[in-house]
Amino acid sequence: MKILTQKASNCQTNIFRLANRVPVQDIALRYMGTPKKGKWWRCPFHQEKEESFTYKIKFRCFGCGWNGGNVDLVMKLFGLSPLEAARLICRDFSIPIDDHPPTKEAMARVAEVRREREREETIKNKIEQTYKETALLHRVAFQLGMDHVEVVLADVLDGLQSREKARQIEALRYARKWWLA
């Protein structure tokens, strides 16, 4: 029994070492997607408009201060245990291990988080686009002295910039319905 435990713990140390040895840029591309600029991403762990998440030897966010290695990132991104995160990395990078592949539950969780992140990314892009177009209309309304319209547009611009998600979505729907259908 003692030997078995010893063996398991050796495998596990090994799996963490292997997972952490994958180059950080490969991990970033695989789990964070293609960055919009250079090697900077929007931090997945706090709300931000500008990208402040990057890597050197490890990952680091200059916005919220989060930092960590490969396994830390994958754990936190998908809400996995350290072991499941290491298993996922080894599986995704075809690293042979003397351990199990990730469980079905872990894989389902990863898929779910990925879908959720894609949904959020789509909404963020829509909000940015709508903001640009509405700001343009707002300028025109201002120049033409269309006071009433200008007030409505200004209100929607405020909503789009709001930190409250519900308010952002409401402004987005309004803009799409009335002038960006």
Binding site for Zn ion (CB under 5 A): 43, 45-46, 61, 63-64
Nearer to Zn ion, 65 or 101 (CB): 65
Nearer to Zn ion, 52 or 103 (CB): 52
For the bound state, the minimum distance from the C-beta of residue 75 to Zn ion, rounded and expressed in Å, comes to: 15
For the bound state, the minimum distance from the C-beta of residue 159 to Zn ion, rounded and expressed in Å, comes to: 24
- How many other C-beta atoms lie within 10 A of the C-beta of residue 42? 20
Distance (Å, whole) CA 177 – CA 181: 5
For the bound state, the minimum distance from the C-beta of residue 8 to Zn ion, rounded and expressed in Å, comes to: 35
For the bound state, the minimum distance from the C-beta of residue 170 to Zn ion, rounded and expressed in Å, comes to: 26
Distance (Å, whole) CA 59 – CA 47: 17
Find the Cα–Cα–Cα–Cα dihedral 85, 87, 91, 93, rounded to 10°. Answer: 60
Place of tokens 């209309």: 137
Phi and psi at residue 81, in whole multiples of 5°?
-75, 160
The dihedral of CA 102, 106, 108, 112: what is its sign? negative
For the bound state, the minimum distance from the C-beta of residue 45 to Zn ion, rounded and expressed in Å, comes to: 5
Answer for the pair 31, 113: CB distance below 8 angstroms, yes or no: no
Nearer to Zn ion, 24 or 43 (CB): 43
Nearer to Zn ion, 9 or 47 (CB): 47
Nearer to Zn ion, 54 or 103 (CB): 54
